[in-house]
């Protein structure tokens, strides 16, 4: 039973939070707060790929080096996120989210003044460290605040990140590309705002969330764990599906601007606007996926969101500019609906380890994207960027593995 409290006062509001009598209550203000934190976090992170054309020009980088930048950034976050999630499941550190923001802000300042490839790698590693601290703990708190609406909470949380990622290319196009590499440091102000916001979320956890976490763990122990075979199968299939989703996604987030410039002769600014349309569609798909999963089941959402984009991805490399941009955006919308369902499905497999599971999935997402970006960068240097998209078009076929996901609704 969660203790009743009437004394919590968050830094985000002067009014006390209404009393919480059950871990099943949905605390929308906290979900929105961590989503806003996710927005600020991913806005800063998205400046990295959005600034690739500028960094490539200033430092004379190859596509292979561009892929390695993504590898270091994503790889740092990938390795550390599951470890952070595992630790915070046992010893929660809600105030650490602010420290993660500080690390990201520091990385941006260093990136603004990077004058060598090695300096760039150090900068993005610090940004990756900030991400590894933020994502597992923020996702765990979103799940605690979700009550009986975990899909809704995960979608709102993730759409915050997607909205930030979508705004990054616009910020790069209208600020960084106009003012130069040094203007990247201006966005460290965003990190300061995020630190203040997430400190308030940490206060809510200390006053209310910790009790909800104990109630949720007690309920999970009472119902008993799922059979190990079911957990292993479910997690193995999710890994296969994430390879399909995130390799295709990183082909767009890291190389889509170069593809549009080479294939259609667009300017850097025009290509950034097209990337923004894709990322905006991803944000819309994310907010749709969780609530639909709450209604019809996560398994169905995962299946149709990954396998369902195959007709679009196959024709994209052969289309004229406008239909191609529309098809890519529509594919992004459909594909993005999968990840909220994946995270909640995995947390349902291991309900006593929601932070570790979130860290594992976010870590896998970053790691798969890192390796995918590095590999695709090598292929782009060898065979050309257009050929890369013709190869990636068939990745959604891995979505057939979703038919093997255990049905957890019973």
What pLDDT band is residue 40 in, cutting at 50, 70 and 90?
A: very high
Rounded Cα–Cα distance for residues 361 and 120 (Å): 26
What was the pLDDT predicted at 215? Answer: 62
What pLDDT band is residue 410 in, cutting at 50, 70 and 90?
A: very low
Backbone angles phi, psi at 16, to 5 degrees: -70, 150
What pLDDT band is residue 21 in, cutting at 50, 70 and 90?
A: very low
Give the distance from CA 369 to its chain's centroid: 11
Counting residues of the chain whose pLDDT is more than 90, the rounded percentage is: 15
138 contacts 194 by C-beta, under 8 angstroms: no
Backbone angles phi, psi at 4, to 5 degrees: -75, 140
Backbone angles phi, psi at 9, to 5 degrees: -130, 110
Give the distance from CA 235 to its chain's centroid: 18
Lowest-pLDDT choice from 98-102, 239-243, 337-341, 365-369: 365-369
What was the pLDDT predicted at 10? Answer: 37
What was the pLDDT predicted at 276? Answer: 83
DSSP state of 316: G
Query: 388 is written with which tokens?
Result: 């890369």
Residue indicated by tokens 């990622």 = 165
114: nearest Cα among 47, 40, 22: 47
CATH 3.40.50.300 at 28-404, yes or no: no
Rounded Cα–Cα distance for residues 370 and 312 (Å): 24
Element (H, E) at 140: helix 117-146
Element (H, E) at 396: none
Query: 104 is written with which tokens?
Result: 């990201």
What was the pLDDT predicted at 3? Answer: 41
Query: 361 is written with which tokens?
Result: 């999935």
Helix, strand, coil percent content, the chain, rounded in steps of 5: 85, 0, 15
Rounded Cα–Cα distance for residues 374 and 310 (Å): 23
Element (H, E) at 366: helix 354-383
What was the pLDDT predicted at 7? Answer: 35
């Amino acid at each position: 039973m969660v203790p009743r409290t009437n004394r919590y006062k968050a830094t985000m509001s002067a009014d006390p939070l209404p009393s919480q009598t059950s871990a099943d209550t949905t605390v929308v203000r906290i979900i929105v707060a961590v989503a806003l934190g996710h927005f600020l976090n991913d806005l800063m992170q998205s400046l990295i790929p959005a600034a690739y054309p500028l960094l490539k020009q200033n430092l004379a980088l190859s596509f292979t080096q561009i892929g390695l930048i993504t590898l270091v950034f994503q790889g740092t976050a990938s390795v550390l996120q599951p470890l952070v999630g595992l630790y915070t499941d046992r010893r929660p550190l809600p105030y650490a989210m602010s420290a993660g923001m500080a690390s990201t802000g520091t990385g941006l300042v260093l990136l603004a003044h990077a004058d060598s490839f090695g300096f760039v790698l150090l900068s993005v590693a610090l940004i990756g460290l900030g991400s590894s601290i933020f994502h597992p703990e923020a996702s765990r708190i979103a799940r605690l605040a979700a009550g009986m609406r975990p899909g809704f909470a995960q979608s709102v949380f993730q759409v915050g990140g997607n909205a930030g990622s979508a705004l990054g290319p616009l910020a790069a196009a209208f600020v960084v590309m106009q003012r130069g590499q040094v203007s990247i440091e201006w966005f460290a102000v965003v990190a300061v705002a995020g630190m203040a916001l997430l400190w308030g979320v940490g206060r809510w956890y200390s006053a209310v969330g910790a009790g909800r976490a104990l109630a949720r763990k007690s309920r999970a122990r009472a119902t008993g764990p799922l059979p190990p075979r079911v957990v292993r199968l479910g997690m193995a299939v999710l890994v296969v599906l994430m390879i399909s989703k995130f390799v295709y996604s990183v082909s767009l987030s890291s190389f889509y601007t170069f593809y549009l410039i080479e294939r259609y002769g667009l300017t850097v600014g025009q290509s950034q606007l097209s990337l923004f349309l894709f990322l905006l569609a991803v944000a819309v798909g994310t907010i749709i996926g969780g609530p639909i999963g709450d209604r019809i089941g996560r398994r169905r959402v995962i299946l149709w969101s990954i396998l369902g984009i195959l007709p679009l991805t196959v024709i994209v490399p052969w289309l004229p500019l406008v239909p191609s941009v529309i098809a890519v955006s529509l594919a992004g919308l459909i594909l993005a609906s999968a990840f909220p369902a994946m995270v909640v499905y995995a947390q349902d497999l291991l309900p006593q380890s929601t932070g570790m599971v979130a860290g594992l999935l976010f870590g896998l997402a970053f790691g798969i994207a890192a390796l995918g970006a590095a590999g695709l960068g090598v292929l782009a240097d060898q065979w050309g960027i257009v050929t890369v998209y013709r190869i990636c078009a068939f990745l959604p076929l891995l979505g057939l593995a979703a038919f093997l996901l255990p049905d957890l609704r019973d």
